[in-house]
């Protein structure tokens, strides 16, 4: 009997440790991918040693097929060594297993997204400080601020402004859903949530990342339409007022959407990607081969020198995955994304009326998927390990909310 009790105690201890470590990994991704992945490895070890049941949500089939086709594409690429980084990235997908296996109550998930809001606000604050430094540097050099700032924007704790903005977008959308539907939102810490919202929104605006602005606006309107539908009609008015009240540099960033020169390099990468897909429709060129073989697939009428821009990927997740891993892999990815939206929407329809943590998690998860799919039209966002990790956390939490009964608030 003593042995049985001892084994049970050690199992519970390991399981609790795994939960705390996984929580830390999911939060640490906002400021350090190294810390997050170390904690993820420790959480996996503790989970396995605890002998708890390993669980994956319903999307395991399309996700597994997508990863399998990645390996098949690599095997037939003729350049396995250069594609190994994408094999190592499969480790990142274990976050889905860890979250779905360990986060089994909605209270833990609620605290996770509140931790995201708090840490995300600090990340945004760092970005705001960086923005102020950029303003001072531009003034000291006597340069127009927009021209000085656009090539090297704020990054927070990340290495690139796209990662910084993508992270803030996810945190902001989950916080919006929390404020709209969580029963605890107005009972405790409302000031904290609103302060975090203000910091996150400011950081996201100052990131000057247009595809993130668009994705956040559309996903935000989705959330607003389910909370206060009439507010959606005011959105154009608010946007117009905001545009004319904004500083000159911010207005320049908005109006640059209509300038053809700003899209020349993106259009060139998209056309190049289509040529890659036409040449290798089934298995693609292979992981990591797009950036290595891009010069070979440039259209005949490509201007020289190449338009300014980054040519390491195709700036579109659908084209990128089709060119790298084949059209079937890209369609399977779409299947997974649509399945998630369908599952979460179905669970929402089955909820009783009124606020609940299930409602906020499910609506927030749908908003994050919508934003990811829209931003993915203009950027290879799911190729970014930090953004992918946060996406998988949201997906896992969403599926926990799908299967849980409403929690007593």
What DSSP assignment string belongs to 39-82? Answer: HHHHHHHHHHHHTPPP---TTHHHHHHHHHHHHHHHHTSS-HHH
Q: Which pTM does this prediction carry?
A: 0.93
CB 107 within 8 A of CB 407: yes
Q: At 63, list the tokens.
A: 């996700």
CB contact set of 51 (below 8 Å; sequence gap of 6+): 11
Would you write out the chain's pLDDT as a tens digit for each of its 409 residues?
A: 544 455 444 678 888 999 999 999 999 999 999 999 999 999 999 999 988 889 999 999 999 999 999 999 999 998 899 889 998 999 999 999 999 999 988 999 999 999 999 999 999 999 999 999 999 999 999 999 988 998 899 999 998 999 999 999 999 999 999 999 999 987 777 899 999 999 999 999 999 999 999 999 999 999 999 988 877 777 888 888 887 788 888 888 888 776 656 678 889 999 999 999 999 999 999 999 999 999 999 999 888 888 888 888 999 999 999 999 999 999 999 999 999 999 999 999 999 988 999 999 999 999 999 999 999 999 999 999 999 999 999 999 999 999 865 444 3
Q: What is the pLDDT of residues 231-241, one digit of tens each?
A: 777 788 888 88
Residue with tokens 């946007």: 239
Task: Look up residue 270 and give its two tokens.
Answer: 């998209």
Residue 262: predicted pLDDT: 62
Using left for φ > 0, alpha for ψ between -120 and 50, and beta otherwise, residue 149 falls in alpha
343 with 277: CB under 8 angstroms?
Answer: no
Non-local (6+) Cβ contacts of 255 within 8 A are: none
Token pair of 25 as six digits: 């990994």
Rounded Cα–Cα distance for residues 319 and 247 (Å):
35
How many Å apart are CA 223 and CA 182, to the nearest integer? 13
Q: What tens digit of pLDDT does each residue of 211-266 get?
A: 999 999 999 999 999 988 877 777 888 888 887 788 888 888 888 776 656 678 88
Half-sphere exposure of 139 (CA within 13 A, CB side): 6
Please report the pLDDT score of residue 5 as a whole number: 52
């Amino acid at each position: 009997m003593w042995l049985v009790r001892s084994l049970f105690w050690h199992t519970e201890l390991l399981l609790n440790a795994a939960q705390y470590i996984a929580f830390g990994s999911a939060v640490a991704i906002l400021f350090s991918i190294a810390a997050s992945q170390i904690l993820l490895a420790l959480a996996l070890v503790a989970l396995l040693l605890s002998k708890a049941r390993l669980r994956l949500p319903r999307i395991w089939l399309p996700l597994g097929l997508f990863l399998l086709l990645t390996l098949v594409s690599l095997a037939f690429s003729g350049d396995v060594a250069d594609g190994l980084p994408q094999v190592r990235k499969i480790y990142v997908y274990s976050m889905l297993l860890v979250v779905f296996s360990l986060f089994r109550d909605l209270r833990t998930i609620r605290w996770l997204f509140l931790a995201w809001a708090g840490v995300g606000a600090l990340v945004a604050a760092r970005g705001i400080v960086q923005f102020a430094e950029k303003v001072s540097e531009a003034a000291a050099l006597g340069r127009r601020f927009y021209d000085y700032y656009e090539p090297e924007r704020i990054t927070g704790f990340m290495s690139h402004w796209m990662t910084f903005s993508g992270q803030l977008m996810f945190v902001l959308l989950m916080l919006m859903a929390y404020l709209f539907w969580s029963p605890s939102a107005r009972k405790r810490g409302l000031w904290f949530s609103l302060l975090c919202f203000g910091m996150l929104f400011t950081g996201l605006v100052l990131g000057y990342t247009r595809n993130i602005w668009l994705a956040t606006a559309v996903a935000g309107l989705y959330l607003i339409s389910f909370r206060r539908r009439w507010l959606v009609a005011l959105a154009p008015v608010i946007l117009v007022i905001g545009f004319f009240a904004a500083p000159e540099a911010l207005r320049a960033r908005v109006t640059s959407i209509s300038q053809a020169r700003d899209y020349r390099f993106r259009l060139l990468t998209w056309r190049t990607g289509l040529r890659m897909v036409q040449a290798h429709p089934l298995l693609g060129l292979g992981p990591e081969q797009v950036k290595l073989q891009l010069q070979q697939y440039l259209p005949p009428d490509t201007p020289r020198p190449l338009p300014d821009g980054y040519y390491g990927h195709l700036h579109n997740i659908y084209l990128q995955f089709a060119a790298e891993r084949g059209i079937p892999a890209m369609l399977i990815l779409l299947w997974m994304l649509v399945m998630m939206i369908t599952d979460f929407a179905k669970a929402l329809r089955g909820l009783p009326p009124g606020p609940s943590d299930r409602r906020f998690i499910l609506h927030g998860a749908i908003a994050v998927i919508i934003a990811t799919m829209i931003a993915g039209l203009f950027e290879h966002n799911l190729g970014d390990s930090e953004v992918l990790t946060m996406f998988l956390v949201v997906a896992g939490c969403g599926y926990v909310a799908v299967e849980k009964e409403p929690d007593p608030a």
